Chains A and B, each alone.
Chain A
């Protein structure tokens, strides 16, 4: 398959790399007092004030045109920012979805009025979005969604239910994949995307507590929610194509490599001490670097394709499946390292962080498409389906 040798080593352009110094100086200061087990929440960490500060510094919507309050930069600039945010464990969850995919979606498919309305507050870190895809009976089989928007005289009436919606309880808007015509058996036909103001009457948001005790995802109910005409984003009936394009942005970024990186660095600090350093731990550290480095090069190469307007869907799936594998290896292997020593004098903060990451690691290969879905997409790319 040509895809396999299609990615060439690419350097992040110097102009974009130059952002790193500034953002690192800010993060070194801002994150100094935050313990590792909190920083480990990374893009699940929620802090609206932090998001507003990033917006004030021009670091949100950096790829959006300046006319909408953005930075007018390319995908490499965002790559540098996000790579630093994640490695420092900055609480970027509030604006994460809006900055990564809702904003770009509105930019690509929205009307001029929609862009003027939604994008500037996203860039200021004042407007947060969530993604309404999964439903109780539509997980991996996303095309079977049943939530329906029915045409009315003034717009749409929305009824149904979404689930596993990250941060819905903290968000202002949801971009939901809904059925606007046909029935569930029509599959990809008749689906559309609508922007739902979550403060409207008829919307109910209920957080779901996860196994670590956090409540970062929710179920969201729609009971005849009255939407205006302009809630439709993109073309009616084109929802499936729009969602597919949106997922390409979601699968190849630095967030598919660095979800456990705060834990790794906390452990690294321990094995850099005389009491923490063992030959086995040194070797393990090298093993993880040997897996992360090619993945980072692949992820940067995919970013280069995105800057050229390509949509490298299969490459992104390959990177996400491998990347989440390393992210899950990190807590498993570090636990084996620290709990196989004679001395059990392990720093408590390292253990707290390890415990947290061990608990949330299963989600890495669920969010944005399960392993099995990704491998099916790769197989399709190989011509096997």
Chain B
């Protein structure tokens, strides 16, 4: 199931989500055309139960799809919508609107307004599923106040009390950082592989001192280290998605997001080191990937956030050998 789904998405993205399209959406903030292509093919309904018209998949089935969103630097919230629609369906919401939905953790102010900082893909998403520690709201971005955040497609979003009241309120709540951590670990694993492959290709093509730079031992060893981090991140992302429901496991996401974020930093630095000045240009595609390595490392909790989550689990809630926590995080059916 996973492979069929991934193969279909790969073909679509090959055609529709080229680097030129990504650049154009980053410039305009308008991802509507690409979104329609992806949504009409059903990918965003992958985690929705079959009874609600979805594909009825579980988390471990969609790692491939989420990793492809990283590998193709997809500038619309496919993985986020997939997760949001699943949560809404499981909450019994019928008739979820067609647009894209991203995820955010928010805090409701005393005056009833709601603000979310650095909403992932908040500039292009049609709606945001926001959770605080009591409720969730599905809120349109249409009339919300959106201001630029650090990543070009992200936004700080503010809804007035009136807009919040007009939105759909759910009595459930969810740790959105957990979901974004899981999604971004998977996206990072795909983007890391893409960056690694591009850098390997470049090292084989670029000739200096009369031979491809990939023939020099110093470059070879840097590529080996990139391979190690990409390889470990791929396994970490599998752990993050190792769930036979639609909800990820907190300890596994902590491992996944921490490890892929650590890899993102190392691999981004090494890829730029090997590419030299050309990799630093707007024109060369590497930047589309390495800017996202940093963005996804940050969003949903950077490595130290998840290190602390894991550490508290180990120190405060477990007894005995560290092996037993490692085993429970890794010895899973997936």
Q: Which residues of A contact B (CB under 8 A)?
A: 1, 3-5, 7-9, 11-12, 17, 83, 87, 258, 261, 264-265, 268, 271-272, 277, 279, 281-298, 300-301, 315, 318, 321-322, 372, 374-376, 378-379, 382-385
B326 touches A378 (CB 8 A): no
Which B residues form the contact surface with A (CB < 8 A)?
193, 196-197, 200, 203-204, 214-215, 217, 220-221, 223-225, 227-228, 230-236, 238-239, 242, 254-255, 258-259, 262, 303-304, 306-316, 321-323, 325-327, 329-334
Given A294-B236, A382-B224, CB of A9 within 8 Å of CB of B306: no
On whether the beta carbons of A296 and B321 are closer than 8 Å, the reply is no
The answer to whether A293 and B329 touch across the interface, beta carbons within 8 angstroms, is: yes
> Complex formed: what's the CA distance from A125 to B223 in Å?
43
A5: which B residues are within 8 A, CB to CB? 193, 234
- Known interface pairs A264-B322, A285-B311. Does A290 touch B303 (Cβ–Cβ under 8 Å)? yes
**Chain B residues within an 8 Å CB radius of A315:** 231
Total CB contacts across the A-B interface at under 8 A: 175
* Least distance between B143 CB and chain A CB atoms (Å): 41
Q: Is A290 in contact with B323, judged by CB distance below 8 angstroms?
A: no
Residue of B224, B231, B331 touching A379 (CB-CB under 8 A): B224
Question: Contact: A321 with B308, CB < 8 Å?
Answer: no
Interface centre among A301, A318, A321, A376, by most chain B C-beta atoms within 10 angstroms, is: A318
A286 touches B314 (CB 8 A): yes
| Contact B315–A268 (Cβ < 8 Å) | yes
Further 7 A-B residue pairs, CB within 8 A, beyond A287-B258, A291-B262, A378-B224: A4-B193, A12-B331, A261-B322, A290-B255, A290-B303, A293-B236, A294-B330
Would B232 and A295 count as touching, CB distance under 8 A? yes
Could you tell me the distance between the alpha carbons of A374 and B227 in the complex, rounded to whole angstroms? Answer: 12
- Which of these, B203, B307, B321, B323, contacts A286 with CB under 8 Å? B307
Task: Give Cα A162 to B234, complex, Å.
Answer: 40
Chain A neighbourhood of B310, CB < 8 A: 285-287, 289-290
B255 in contact with A289 (CB, 8 Å): yes
| Cβ contact within 8 Å between A375 and B221 | yes
Q: Is the pair B217, A4 in contact by a Cβ cutoff of 8 Å? A: no
A322-B232 in contact (CB<8A) = yes
Report the minimal beta-carbon distance from B289 to chain A, rounded to whole angstroms: 16
A293 touches B220 (CB 8 A): no
Q: Are A83 and B227 in contact (CB under 8 A)?
A: no
Closest to B221 in A: A375
Tell me the smallest distance from the CB of A304 to a CB of chain B, in Å.
12
